[in-house]
Structure 1
Amino acid sequence: MTTDAATESTRVPRGAAPGRHRSAVVPGAPHRSVRRAARAAALLLAVAAVPAPGAAAATGAVHAGAAHVEGRLPSGATYVMDVPATWNGTVLLYSHGYTPSGAPNPARNGPDGATGSLLLGEGYALIGSSYATTGWAVTDAVPDQIATLSAFSDRFGATRRTIAWGTSYGGLVTTALAERHGDRLDGSLSLCGLVHGGVANWNNTLDPVFALKALLAPGSGMPLTRLPDQRAATAAADALTAAVDSAQSTAAGRARIALAAALHNIPVWNQPGQPRPAPADLDAQQANQYEAVKGLVKVAAFNWRQEAEARAGGNMSWNTGVDYARLLGRSSVREEVTALYRKAGLSLKGDLATLDRAPRIGADRAAVAWMSRTSAFTGRLTKPQLSVHTVGDALVPVQTESALLRAVTAAGTTPLLRQAYTETPGHCTFSPAEQLAALHALEDRITTGAWRGATPDALNSRAAAADPSTPARYVPYRPTPYPRPYDLAHPADRP
């Protein structure tokens, strides 16, 4: 979304405290320095409006009479704040999604322009930081977000209510904020988040590529973990992608790709605009999974892993002791896999035996401990959290929600958590109306102490009221259990 600097008003609302944080003020006859600041603000907004791969776009919308403030934290991270002229007293602290190493890293305070514009129109203040570094940056993201919240308070004074929210990797950051800084928040909203935590995420990412290598390229010698640099990660990703492409041309290969997809719980309906395959249309189901598997291999399974391993100081995932037959039995798409193997005349039992015999991968204990300490969750909430997921997410499968519920149940904080689902394919493909409905339901829980407004019907009603021009697709849904519940980490920290 582009912004016309000539029509922006970036005046600070009456009563805002002066401070050291930069703000651009556009009076009737601007000074040259003010015009330069306005041009710089417009440039930053234009850059931020182009989302990096895997990350959400900035809000990029400033209402008339609003304050737009940009600044830099001591860590080097930048922040952006938009406060409407009639602020309702609630600040929304937005944590953005994963930004790959080397990609542009602007500060972002909302998932998209349309949602941000609606929120500003309802009187919410929107804030967020860039995080000091890109990649698996949770050790920077959490303190940078808290520092941004402090900078907002210094600049604008006390808030009536503070809510943390975030999408994708930002859902992980949001949940970390909820567990570690609940005293600074009134509630949290995770959208399509990695709410199973870092250890489980990397284990779940290892399983499909392990199966693909063992069944499609057993003699290749390509590394799956302990990748020394991005060049090695790209080479491994390219080699496994080529094997997947070749396998897709045969019935046996397609069945094996579906098996790998099932180990990651990749759904058969997983991309925006994709027609939902008929229950008996195995070819369409598998074709959808094939594209999603390639996407996982090309980026997250190798290049993103390498960056995370560099931070953790080694390999933070393992499959020693994993029973892949049992894992398949827990998968949401196991019946499709069985049918494809039958159609190909291939022995599923034989391929599972091959996986059992393949050399397993052990973790580096120190790396597991780092990932567990920085990126795993205890489930010990102190304030309400609403976690929302699409049912057709291939990158962060909906089963991650059952992992979060398991942790929260074990911690005895279940009354503080509510989960909701949209019948939508793709990762983070929520409409603006659905996002506002979730926020309003969370606010209702904060105000009343009960989750009365978080049923699918209530959420759809809230969505229709917030923005009738975009879809409302909340449905009753219960995800299958997370496939590897015993290695979410934390107390064990074990390879």
Structure 2
Amino acid sequence: MHIRPTALLALAALACQLGAANAQVPAAPQPRACPADVPADAICHAGEDGLGGFYWMALPANWKPETGVLVMHAHGGPTDTGPATLKRGEEDLKRWAVTVKAGHAWAGSTYRRGGFGVTMAAEDTERVRRIFVKHFGPPRRTILHGQSYGAAVAAKGAELYAMVDGPNGPVKGPYDGVLLTSGMLGGGTRAYDFRIDLRVVYQYFCKNHPKADEPQYPLWQGLPMNARLTRAELATRVDECTGVRKPAAQRSEQQKANLANIVGVIRIPERSLIAHLNWSTWLFRDLTQLRLGNRNPFTNANVRYTGSSDDAALNAGVLRYTADPAAFAELANDSDPVGKINMPVLTLHAVNDPTAFVELESAYRDVVERAGNGQRLVQTFSDESEHSYLSDPQYPALFTALLNWIDRKDKPTPQTVAALCKGYEAAYGDTCKLLPDYRSAPLANRVPPR
């Protein structure tokens, strides 16, 4: 029998109820060999959180809770939509070994499952923090660090746990500051608009996702649940239409025209086209069908697309969809920040990020300022064209700036962060690429408003 999911919120509530009934006591952290790249004298542990998620923890040599800093990491994605794996957490720790090198303890959750669920992931991150405190003691300071999609998780977590229940009423929550890097900010109701745009614009030009002889479906679904299309097969279709995996000289004239039109309208680099189509296929399938009861939270009904060789024909022929208001509201409640922060928040974003547009920083800034908390937000930017990881010395500079803000009330500026970064170049073997005078443009400059 097929049971139709009713709503993201209902599923989250049910998951909490089932978790409370079925969760085992979280496994105590067990010693594990640290992954490569983590300092050799660090001590690592791993375990299972009792809800199906896994975690890794790394403590620098001589780390003590009474003087130490804990960085709780919320990872990016969601690239996988299946069960959680311990290996995912190991990969995160390897990527963020710079945190341990900077002298801070690191802990991260894999989340209890793959797929979409910002509030769920924030809860899982907090659950791992509590496990850390239980076994290693309460640290002097706790920083919540979110990367990419994890920045949305951390932004939500900062609001969910801004205040917590104390013995005599609400008290300030466990996080002293927040670091958001390469953030997919602005919430699910805004951050993914360009991906529904990509699906409809791609289909207009390529007409092979789905093909004419395949079952047709509304593109906001991502992909039917019973479809057997693989990522490799999709990449082949994209290459057939656009030649994106070939050198430019080997593309046909039609492929060149198709590729130029798609990236011109969606404003993404060629190298990220297949990745974005993957997200707007398998992540959309997870989000709309498994989390939102097969309802559409996206609209492009009145969007005016520009940047093609014939905008009039494109706008006349592109598929149009209107959001289900309840699905939109549930996605907003799960993932959209509202700006109710009571702690310092520092961000870093590459100005040419190919995955999360830098203009998403403006969307988050607008939310925080509307909530009256603009003084608690400082944003920094770098002259880079990457997403998953930026120049090494920038991260210890951000940690130092954030801790100075927390401990000394010394609010940083982009200029002071850039100056701090220079001091870390020799130790971290890379150059700082910060742009102290940069300010992100409005999101509407990059993604057509709706």
> TM-score, structure 1 length as denominator?
0.71
Runs of 5+ in structure 1 lacking a partner? Answer: 1-18, 25-37, 50-58, 267-288, 326-336, 342-347, 488-495
Cα distance in 2, alignment partners of residues 447 and 485 from structure 1: 41
Contact 1:387 1:420 in 2 (8 A): yes
**Is 1:63–1:120's contact at 8 Å kept on the other side of the alignment?**
no
For 1:113, the aligned partner's letter is: K
Q: Deviations over 1:26-81 (max 9, x none)?
A: xxxxxxxxxxxx6xx34xx56xx7xxxxxxxxx755525x4x33332221212222
In 2 relative to 1, CA 222–187 (structure 1 residues): closer, same or farther, beyond 3 Å? same
> Is 1:319 aligned with 2:300?
yes
Equivalent of 2:53, from 52, 58, 77? Answer: 77
Match of 1:464 among 405, 414, 425: 425
CA distance in 2, matches of 1:318, 1:243: 28
Query: Secondary structure in 1 aligned to 2:381?
Result: strand
CA distance in 2, matches of 1:96, 1:394: 18
Identical counterparts, % of pairs = 24
Work out whether 1:108 is the aligned partner of 2:89.
Answer: yes
Check if 1:214 corresponds to 2:210: no
1:294-443 matches, cutoff 5 A: 294-297=274-277, 299-309=278-288, 310-313=290-293, 314-325=295-306, 337=307, 348=309, 350-443=310-403
Distance 2:262 2:380 in 1: 27
1:430 is displaced (CA, Å) by 0.9
Matched residue type, 2:418: D
Shift of 1:263: 4.2
Does the alignment pair 1:152 with 2:136?
no
Relative to structure 1, the CA distance from residue 358 to residue 120 in structure 2 (aligned partners, 3 Å threshold; closer, same or farther) is closer
SS of corresponding position for 1:134: coil
Partner AA of 1:179 in structure 2? E
Question: In the alignment, which residue of structure 2 is the partner of 1:63?
Answer: 41
Name whichever of 235-244 and 365-374 sits farther off.
235-244
Structure 2 CA distance for aligned equivalents of residues 464 and 239 of structure 1: 42
| CA deviation profile, 1:170-212 (whole Å, cap 9, x unmatched) | 1111111112112221110011111121111221211122122
Say which SS state the counterpart of residue 384 (structure 2) adopts. Answer: strand
Aligned mate of 1:22, from 13, 28, 35: 28
Aligned residues: 393
Q: CA deviation at 1:23?
A: 4.7
Letter in 2 for 1:300: W
Cα distance change on mapping 1:420 and 1:485 into 2, 3 Å: farther
1:78 aligned partner, one-letter code = F
Which one of the candidate residues 213, 219, 225 is aligned to 1:224?
219
Query: Letter of the aligned partner of 1:302 in structure 2?
Result: T
Aligned partners of 1:169 and 1:194 also within 8 Å = yes
- The within-5 A match list for 1:83-232 is 83-84=59-60, 85-87=62-64, 88-98=67-77, 99-102=79-82, 105-106=85-86, 108=89, 111=92, 113=94, 115-116=96-97, 118-182=98-162, 183-217=173-207, 220=212, 223-226=218-221, 227-229=223-225, 231=227
Q: Distance in 2 between matches of 1:445 and 1:142?
A: 24
Partner of 2:321: helix, strand, or coil? coil
Is contact 2:200-2:319 (8 Å) kept? no
Task: Give the counterpart letter for 1:188 in structure 2.
Answer: V
Q: Does 1:479 align with 2:440?
A: yes
What is the CA distance between 1:311 and its match in structure 2? 1.5
Q: Could you tell me which amino acid in structure 1 is paired with residue 238 of structure 2?
A: T
Do 1:441 and 1:454's aligned partners in 2 also have CA atoms closer than 8 Å?
no
> Secondary structure at the residue paired with 1:22?
coil
Gaps of 5+ in 2: 1-24, 163-172
SS of alignment partner, residue 58 of structure 2: strand
Contact 1:191/1:387 (CA < 8 Å) preserved in 2?
Answer: yes
* Deviation of the 1:157 alpha carbon: 2.3
Is contact 1:77–1:130 with CA below 8 Å preserved after alignment?
A: yes
Range with bigger deviation, 221-230 or 316-325: 221-230
Q: Does the 8 A contact of 2:144 with 2:178 survive in 1?
A: yes
Write out per-residue CA displacement over residues 398-423 of structure 1, whole angstroms, 9 at most, x where no aligned residue: 11111111111211211111111111
Contact 1:79 1:129 in 2 (8 A): yes
